[in-house]
Amino acid sequence: MNLVCTAGNLYVFVIIARSVLSWFPVNPSSPVAQIARVVFNITEPVLAPVRRAMPRMGQFDLSPLIVLVGLQIFMGLVLGC
C-alpha cells in the first residue's frame, strides 16, 4: 500500500511540474525540453480524457486541477494515504 501511495504522490508532483512548465516557453534544443517531453508523455494519457470531457474555459486548461483533486480524493478515501 505504501508503494501505491508513494507512486500517487510522485504523480501529483509530475502533474504540478507539467503545469509549471506550461507557463514558460521551452527552447526545443535545451535540456529542459527533454524533461518537458517526458513529463508531457507521462501525464497526457490521464489529462487528455479529462480535457475532452470538460467544457472549454478560454485559454485555461483546468484538467490538471481536476485530476489532482480526483487523485487526492482517491488516495485519501480509497487508499488511506
What does the pLDDT profile of the chain (81 residues) look like in tens digits? 789 999 999 999 999 999 999 999 989 899 899 999 999 999 999 999 999 998 888 888 899 999 999 999 999 988 888
What is the phi/psi pair of residue 63, to 5°?
-60, -40
**Residues 54 and 62 sit within 8 Å (Cβ to Cβ):** yes
